[in-house]
Amino acid sequence: MADMQCGRDGLLTLGTVLTARLCHDLSGPLHGLSAALAESGEDAEALALAQEAAAALRARLALLRAAWGTPAALAAGELRRLGQGLPQAHRLRLELAGPVAAEALPAPVARLLLNALLLGAESLPRGGALELAGEARRRVTLGIAGPGAAWPAGLEALLANPGAALAAARQPRRMQASLLSLFAAEAGARVRLRPGAGPATMLLDLAAGGG
């Protein structure tokens, strides 16, 4: 009974943090849209800015709905389209290589890859490139490159321990790393980091049990 209560409390906390994070992510585009509309009038430049902000908001909502909402399969090419909703998308370059660039993605895999991309975008504070490569039904790698590129501190520990990830989800700045770990556990996948010359490459073993 106590375990059930702890689990429920953890899920409620996660839901609360998730809501706060969602509001934070949408506040920037919403503010830009509101300000532009307030000043638009006959001003074509202000109206164009409003339209740009609205497009960014729609793209962000589509991405977060797919990444955090009820899992849904993605048709081929949808991964690239949803990537347009990443934070600071105008400063990011999403590169897809290998079969994952043209594959239809099963629901659990789609959600896992989208959350990996969200974490990758967070790990590029001044923009850069995200490179996703591999076969979505087996193994995919995610590399990040750019000024100040670095995965969050303690990421490996969270990926290895879903219990620790749930506890860490109470901290908004660690929420995305925690979600990735929890969704990986739910999908029966294994996510880990492979050190390299620059930031480590993320390995996502997507076959049942992680392989």
**Interatomic CA distance for residues 210 and 189, integer angstroms:** 5
pLDDT number for residue 5: 47
pLDDT number for residue 209: 43
pLDDT of 63-83, one tens digit each? Answer: 988 898 888 999 999 999 999
- Parse the chain into domains and list their residue ranges: 2-205
Pairing of strands 190-194, 128-135: unpaired
Superfamily name with CATH number, domain 2-205: Histidine kinase-like ATPase, C-terminal domain (3.30.565.10)
Which of 154, 139, 141, 111 shows the shortest CA–CA distance to 209?
139
Q: Cα angle at 76 between 74 and 80, to 5 degrees?
A: 85
Look-up of token digits 């087996």: 138
In this structure, are residues 123 and 147 in contact, taking their beta carbons and an 8 Å threshold? no
pTM of structure: 0.84
Confidence of residue 211 (pLDDT cuts 50, 70, 90): very low
Q: Once rounded to an integer, what is the mean pLDDT over residues 4-15?
A: 56
Which of 51, 52, 106, 119 shows the shortest CA–CA distance to 79?
106
- Say whether pLDDT at 137 is over 60: yes
